[in-house]
Structure 1
Amino acid sequence: MQILKFGGSSLSTTHVLKTVAFIAKTRCQKNRIAIVVSACGDTTDHLLQVIDLSLLGQQKQWKSKLAQLKKYHLQLLEKTVLKKHQRYTRERIEFIFSELHSFLAGVSLVHDCSARTKDLILSQGEILATEIVAAVLNAEGLSAVAVHAAQLIATDDHYGQALVDCELTEQKVKKYFATLSKTVPVITGFVGGTANGDITTLGRGGSDYSAALIAASVKAKALEIWTDVDGVLSADPRLVLDAFPLISLSYEEAMELAYFGAKVVHSKTLTPLMQKKIPLWIKNTFAPDVIGTCISEKSTDEGIVKGITSMSDVAVLTLTGSGIIGVHGVAGRMFTALARAEVNVVMISQSSSEQSVCCVISSDKQKEAVHALKEEFKLELKARVVQNIHCEADMVVLSLVVSKMKGSPGVAGKLFSVLGKNGVNVVAVAQGSSEMSISFVLSEEDKVRALNLIHGAFHLSLNHVNLFMIGKGRVGTALLRQVEEARVRLQDEMGIDLRLIGVCDSQKIILGNKPLEFKKWKTKLAQSKETLKLPQLVTSLKSTALENILVIDVTASEEIAKYYPEIIATGMSVVTPNKKAQTQNLNTFHILQKALNRGRKQYRYETTVGAALPVISTLQDLKDSGDEILEIQGIFSGTLSYLFSTLDKGVLFSDAVKEAVKRGYTEPDPRDDLSGEDVARKILILARELGLQLNLKQVKVENLIPPSLRKGSVAHFLSRLSEINAVFAKRCASAKQKGKVLQYCAQLKQGKPSVGVVEVNADSPLALLKPGDNVVIFKSKRYFDNPLIIKGPGAGPEVTAGGVFADILKISQYLVR
């Protein structure tokens, strides 16, 4: 014998009713079957609405609503069953709605609906479903009969949440099934009956529970619950897009998932099945070929983490007092008082010092809970033995269900590490003695982000890193192309999915909680009607509720750099080639450092000095390993490196600058490079890495542009650039006579930074450069006689984008490990 249970969505349309008939016929080929049904579609909700309207005395409205419901059921019959097979079932539907009309007329007349009457009205939804499903099966050649479960499921008279007498129910079910031959019973779910013959309902999950009770009573081979999802999912698919169906679960694992919010199966459904060791299959009526989830004694899935659930609309109730440390019975009094007030406790957590006890309760019971505890501990409050009793609302309980937590060290550590890296604060933690789950409380606003973080961290899905880029210039364009080209490889090799969630320029912004197509970001940004409002940017990013947000600033904006501390404080990471944040005035710079020191936030700026060259990371490694940096020299501008290498070949200064502009080596205004300020910022960044408290004004700078050319348009500047050709020709010739060459060099000696044109020996590392290359020379106690040299390309959007990409990957690996 197999029991098949079909939920409301599985009976909501003609199409799925035909699928139900197909499934039933298929199962009948191998086993005897019985079917348990919920009300069709949203019938129960509609009946509740009709009850409310009748209580309000709104005659026209409740009658109209009831007529719509009748029409819906008749249409299901007419469109699914041939006319010659409809007569009996049509008469039954007409009779049931006539009865409903009478019940509701009485409710409307007396303006009262007792719990008993409400159960009687609601049960008609399941009765209607049995009649229609039986008619469909009979029309398809099966012998089926509609069965009212009030004669099978024995309950008390606690209407709305009736308690089942399992022993008596088993006797009744066995007796009824013994009378069946090949007939397929179609039984009402959700419904039971008292000893006096009154109809009762079984509460939330009642139809599944009915099916489980029947399956246990007849010792069925299996129970199949047919619904509208592919099985029990690893997380709520509305919140975690990568949620997937689990192949198998043990009863205990399924109960843990169900208790903390998994909607597919109710925990009480599992109890009778577990006692009789009957497997439960969760299947999808809309995709009957999908294997679904099997819940049985043992899970065949070898994964440690089975899934994560969330329970919203809860509050944290806390009792705090230094006077309760070591006092016996405090927790007992607390929970007794809550029980008297009919406040259900979902989760309990107590500090090891015993100074506070907190529990999680339903949000709608906050006032009752606080009042109950204040009454219970009023003497202790007056004597200040108990200092505070308060409730914190808008919280959520997340529960990670783990199959082998006892033998799997590091689960909790990984869990809290990934949350901490993203700035998600955990309010309370609890772990059951079964060691099958770990539950924790956090703010409702962090729910979606936390679910996705954990889902990825435990390899239930790819680890998503969500990129938001500020700026759309050549570096940004090259970067997003590089990311797109590497995405599939990174998913396969590192389990990291880099997703683009938004881009902005100085005027427009596109941002959402769903990924953008990399190929379409420019078009989407151009079409966007959303204007960029920098003060609201951080709030907008946070409101996406996405995990692992990484902000990439590819501008040279000082204004944007001022927002880095706020971005970092919210748990987001930053990658940038923008030098402004690291070279702003010391007070602002220290604000950024404090934001970084307050948590394990990630901020990478390797490309601010040497594009893709590992200059900053090398300096940090030398310093952290105890080496003492004595001197730094270098050519930090790919633009100026190209320029002076070209001058050495006899090219005129003006022609060299114009060619650098053409190749994309310079800023849009080449004076930004020629002023020396860019190089000054780079040597200042390195100086600050060594702990020197210096400002930009303390860097001695040689500006290559005479005062007369420092103002005006770029075109005007380039047209007059030949005026200084002679100056540089003369300096080049002078250096050549000495066997030297000119280079624009940055230096940090004895704590004093400077940048400017210097003459260097022709065999010096500073001279032996390809056009556009950078070089950095670290002279330290370890590298005294033979200084450490880093050399390579230091200009161009592709190289810089590659350096930014490398920083993105380093942060991504940190976030997900």
Structure 2
Amino acid sequence: MKVLKFGGSSVANSQNIQRVVQIVQKVAAEEKVAVVVSAFGKTTNNLIAAASLATAQNPDYLDLFDRVSQLHLQVVDDLVAPDRKAETTRGVTQLFQQLKTLLEGCFLLREVTPKTMATISGFGELLSSYIISEVAKNTMDASYKDSRELIVTSNGFEKAQVNFKETNANCVAFFDKHPNRVTVLPGFIAKSSQGTPTTLGRGGSDYSAAIYAAAVQAKELQIWTDVSGMFTANPSIVKQAFPIPQISYQEAMELSHFGAKVIYPPTIQPVLERKIPIWIKNTFEPDHHGTLISETTNALQPVKGISYIENISLLTLEGSGMVGVSGISKRLFETLSIHDINVVLITQASSEHSICIGIYKEDAPAAESAINTAFEVEIERHKIQPVSVESDLAILALVGDQMKNHQGLSGQMFSALGKNNVNIRAIAQGASQKNISAVIDSKDAKKGLNTLHEQFFEARMKQLNLFVTGVGNVGKRFLAQLQQQQNYLREEFKMNLRVIGISNSKHMVFDREGIDLSVWESLLAQGEKTSIHDFFSRAKDLNLRNAVFIDNTANESVSQIYESYLRNNIAVVTCNKIACASELKNYETLKRVSKKYNAPFLFETNVGAGLPIIDTLKNLIASGDKVRKIQAVLSGSLNFVFNNFNGETSFHDVVKQAQEEGYTEPDPTIDLSGIDVARKILILARESGYKLDLEAIENDSFLPSEALEASNLEAFYQSLQTCESDFQKLYESAQTAGKKLKYVAEFAEGKAKVGLQAVAPDHPFYNLEGSDNIVLFYTDRYPVQPLQIKGAGAGADVTASGIFADVIRIGNN
């Protein structure tokens, strides 16, 4: 014999009930079946709400009553065979007449006793089981049996205790003599030995099914619901969660205790003792494997699932008067027991100086008052402090029978949470190591769950969540490169890059599940009004793991908010040089905050676009080398300009061409004034370990004062035309000497300067073509022949690729 239980969502309407009947018919073709059903979806909640409204003398209870009755009568009309439809309708109507009488009594008496509420709340199962049994008769040898005639309990109306001796005897006697192939029974309801209606409490229908399965020693218990088994985590929070194929009884109990609502802990106990396997199956995908709960487990996967409990408060009792004093723990837990307060988590330091307990938030005020009263004398004598209460917490739990046989799981758990700035308030781990629990802030629960799931179930796939500001030349190319490479990154790097937010100067758009990069431009155009601080607030509030803010602008205001991102454990990747070239104190603050909050701050594209200049420099310093001198051509735009400027072209036209092709900043004055190169050599000097400010860099500008002082872009270009003869003289002077013009940055002996130089043919810079950059590092290890890095140093595509490379570095970290 098999026992099948169907939950409320499985029997929510006529269509679903037809699915249920088909499943039962398939199983019953092989052997006898007991079918336990819940109330139709939300019926129990509606009945309880109707009783409450009636007690408050609110006539709206009749509307709820009518909606419930119409649903049930509609199912009868839809599914019951014509020859039994009238009789079934009468039976259902009689039950509703009884229910209405009880509700009217509540209305008149302005009272609903626990006994009456238990009776009212049980009508949902009575109705659903009766109707489904009549539907089953259409195609099967089916009958109905009232569970109140089989399950015997104590007089507790809302969570009655089962008398297993009488119940088991009743079940065995009934099913031994019962001839029908299928028996449909209501879950949740029972009756005391005195004949009083009772209920089995939360998860009562599952419990009813387990009671029947254990009593008759069924081959298996099948729990049919709307998901395909127990998942590695809550799939509504962790999108990558998947069903667990097989799990032990103990693991299932741990997961169900920690919020996995597919099954409840009391359900497992009766079948666990009889070693009866439990299948969790999906009514809407009946061919899916589901989850098998049995004695055995998969030893190759030590962590079976990750779950959590919300709405937790942490109470801490501490004081020197607790050390070495026996009976403190007894008094504490006895006090909580007297006040019927359930303890979810316990942890105590070996110093005995404090005891920390986790309880449900709604119990915190009563617990605080009771504990302070119980230890009133010690508190008055200052031997123990008044109990402290922290609220708005959650408990994350790793669950698995085999965790004790695998070293380092706790370390992996806490390291993964720490890297994502999830602060742990308390830890509990038993000697059996079947459960490792951590108390964290509720706001971090989703991030924590996703972080741990990635750590233990997606070890080969890391997800990065990107927030992109600036979609001009560089930003647009970056998004295009990302869209092109997404599949490659997943397959080759095991990295899933999702763009969660995009903003420009006018609009911003967000999608927690990832923006479709094939239509990002139209989505952004329809987005909400943007602001730098609002964009940051949304990124912070989403609180996603492995979050990265990407700045593709040259905006000073954007650079000023980097610290806020870093302090919220959001990495920063930027091609905007302003922050790293700002005053030394700000630069050092960003570097320090990045380390403190474990949030990478990467800016490879600040110098040399996509060239690995800063990364190489960091490796030199990390390996113990010392930079003594730097010579470089660091402006791809200026190199492009002077490589293309000759006696046949005007300086104005070459600069205009460089801007149009994306080699210069949006304002080319920044490039031509030398400030851009000064910032770059400053960044290299700082990354080499020298404390320097921008004002200390000597800038020998080749631009006339008229160009430097231009009030806008139009005036700047006009000044270039006016001063054309000056530029031609510079070119002719170098040409006559057999040299080429290069804008050179130098750093040596703690000092830096930038300026236009005419370099001879034997100089490494002479043959630098196009927009290429070159950097020469003279170090202790490279004193004569410098370490040389050379390549394209400007352009939207190479800059975007440099941004991309920094993101990949974070993903590989």
Q: 1:508-549 CA distances to partner (integer Å, 9 max, x unpaired)?
A: 211232311012111111112x22232333322121232221
Q: Once the two structures are superposed, what CA deviation does each residue of 1:244-287 show, in whole Å capped at 9, x if it has no partner? A: 22211111111110011000000111111111111111111122
Partner of 2:102: 103
Q: Which residue number in structure 2 is paired with residue 778 of structure 1?
A: 777
1:30 maps to a residue whose letter is E
| Aligned CA distance change for structure 1 residues 771 and 352 (closer, same or farther; 3 Å) | farther
Residue 163 (structure 1) aligns with:
161
- State how far apart, in whole Å, the 2-side matches of 1:638 and 1:339 are: 74
For 2:365, the equivalent position in structure 1 comes to: 367
SS of alignment partner, residue 403 of structure 2: coil
Deviation at 1:720, TM superposition (A): 4.6
1:579 correspondence with 2:582: no
Whether contact under 8 Å (1:260, 1:311) holds in the other structure is yes
Distance, in Å, in 2 between the alignment partners of 1:644 and 1:325 is 78
CA contact (8 A) 1:248 1:300 kept: yes
C-alpha distance 715-62 of structure 1, shift in aligned 2 (>3 A): closer
1:69 is displaced (CA, Å) by 1.8
Aligned to 2:405: 407
Could you tell me whether the CA contact under 8 Å between 1:321 and 1:388 is conserved in 2?
no
Deviation, 1:207, is 0.5
Q: What residue identity is the alignment partner of 1:332? A: K
**Matched residues in 2 for 1:454 and 1:650: separation?**
64
Cα separation, 2, equivalents of 1:64 and 1:726 = 90
**Is 1:259 the equivalent of 2:257?**
yes
Cα drift, residue 103 of structure 1: 2.2
| TM-aligned CA deviation for residue 469 of structure 1 | 0.5
Q: Give the corresponding residue for 2:351.
A: 353
1:19-51 Cα deviation digits (max 9, x unpaired): 111111111111111111111121111110121
Distance in 1 (alpha carbons) for counterparts of 2:71 and 2:423 = 49
Query: Amino acid of the residue matched to residue 544 of structure 2?
Result: L
Q: Pairwise mapping of residues 192-271 of structure 1 onto structure 2 (< 5 A)?
A: 192-271=190-269
Aligned to 2:396: 398
Alpha-carbon distance change, 198 to 388 in structure 1, aligned in 2, over 3 angstroms: closer
Give the conservation status (yes or no) of the 8 Å contact 1:380–1:386: yes
- 8 Å CA contact 1:249–1:301 kept in 2: the answer is no
Paired amino acid for 1:276 = R
Q: 1:689 to 1:460 in 2, by over 3 A?
A: closer
Question: Which residue does the alignment assign to 1:379?
Answer: 377
SS of residue paired to 2:144? strand
| Runs (5+) with no aligned partner, structure 1 | none
Q: How many percent of aligned residue pairs carry the same amino acid?
A: 37
Match of 1:698 in 2: 696
- Cα distance in 2 between the residues matched to 1:93 and 1:602: 65
Contact 2:28 2:181 in 1 (8 A): no
Q: What residue number does 1:494 align with?
A: 493
Q: For residue 159 of structure 1, report the CA deviation from its aligned partner.
A: 1.3
User: Which residue of 1 is the match for residue 30 of structure 2?
Assistant: 30
Quote the Cα distance in structure 2 between the aligned partners of 1:649 and 1:634.
Answer: 26
Question: Which structure 2 residues correspond to residues 88-99 of structure 1 after superposition, within 5 A?
Answer: 88-99=87-98
Partner of 1:298: 296
Instruction: Please show how residues 383-532 of structure 1 align to structure 2 within 5 Å.
Output: 383-460=381-458, 462-528=461-527, 530-532=528-530
Q: Identify the residue that residue 121 of structure 2 maps to in structure 1.
A: 122
Cα–Cα, structure 1 residues 663 and 153, in superposed 2: closer, same or farther, change >3 Å? same
Find the residue that maps to 1:513 and give its secondary structure: coil
> Is residue 250–residue 401 contact of structure 2 (8 Å, CA) maintained in 1?
no
Deviation at 1:206, TM superposition (A): 0.7
What stretches of structure 2 of length at least 5 have no aligned partner?
none
CA distance in 1 between counterparts of 2:19 and 2:105 reads: 39
Per mean C-alpha deviation after superposition, the further-off stretch among 95-104 and 21-30 is 95-104
Q: SS of 2:511's equivalent? A: strand
Within 5 Å, give how 1:522-561 maps onto structure 2: 522-528=521-527, 530-561=528-559
What code does the residue aligned with 1:561 have?
A: S
User: 3-state SS of the aligned residue for 1:468?
Assistant: strand
- Root mean square deviation of aligned Cα: 1.8
Deviation at 1:371, TM superposition (A): 1.0
Q: Indicate conservation of the 8 Å contact 1:248/1:301, yes or no.
A: no
Give the superposition deviation at 1:556.
Answer: 0.7
Q: How far apart, CA to CA, are the structure 2 residues paired with 1:601 and 1:326?
A: 43
1:14 equivalent in alignment to 2:23? no
Tell me, yes or no, if structure 1 residue 71 matches structure 2 residue 70: yes
Query: Quick one: structure 1 residues 226 and 731, their matched pair in 2 at CA, closer, same or farther if it must change by over 3 Å?
Result: same
Q: Which residue of 1 aligns with 2:793?
A: 794
Q: Is the CA contact (8 Å cut-off) linking 1:512 and 1:544 kept in structure 2?
A: no
Q: 1:320 to 1:539 in 2, by over 3 A?
A: farther
Task: Measure how far apart 1:712 and its partner are.
Answer: 4.4
| Number of the residue aligned with 1:756 | 755
The answer as to 2:44 corresponding to 1:44 is yes
566-575 vs 315-324, which moves further: 315-324
Rounded Cα–Cα distance in structure 2 between residues aligned with 1:352 and 1:784:
57
Q: Deviations over 1:176-211 (max 9, x none)?
A: 001112342111111122111122100001100110
- CA separation in 1, counterparts of 2:174 and 2:631? 94
2: distance between equivalents of 1:301 and 1:486?
Answer: 37
Paired with 1:720 and 1:113, the residues of 2 have a C-alpha distance of 89
Preserved contact between residue 671 and residue 705 of structure 1 (Cα < 8 Å): no
Q: 2:637 is matched with which residue?
A: 639
What's the CA shift for 1:128? 0.8
Letter in 2 for 1:184: V
Spell out, residue by residue over 1:346-378, the C-alpha distance to the aligned partner (whole angstroms, 9 max, x if none). 001223433222110011111111111111222
When residues 748 and 649 of structure 1 are mapped into structure 2, their CA distance, relative to the original with a 3 A threshold, is farther
Residues 273-309 of structure 1 show CA distances to partners (whole Å, capped at 9, x for unaligned) of: 1111111111111222222111111124743322211
Q: Distance in 1 between matches of 2:435 and 2:760?
A: 69
CA change 1:322–1:495 in 2 (3 A) is farther
8 Å CA contact retained: 1:648, 1:741: no
Supply the distance in 1 between the matched residues of 2:730 and 2:64 (Cα, whole angstroms).
94
- Structure 1 residue 570: deviation in Å? 0.8
State whether residues 706 and 719 of structure 2, in contact with CA within 8 Å, keep that contact through their aligned partners in structure 1. no
Instruction: Give the secondary structure class of the aligned counterpart of 1:612.
Output: coil
Amino acid at match of 2:88: T
> Within 5 A, what are the aligned runs for 1:337-348?
337-348=335-346
Secondary structure at 1:519's aligned position in 2? Answer: coil
Contact conserved, 1:648 with 1:742, CA < 8 A, in 2? no
Aligned residue in 2 for 1:275: 273
Say if 1:89 and 1:132, in contact at 8 Å, map to a contact too. Answer: yes
* Aligned residues of 2:81 and 2:135 also touching (Cα < 8 A): no
Amino acid across the alignment from 1:7: G
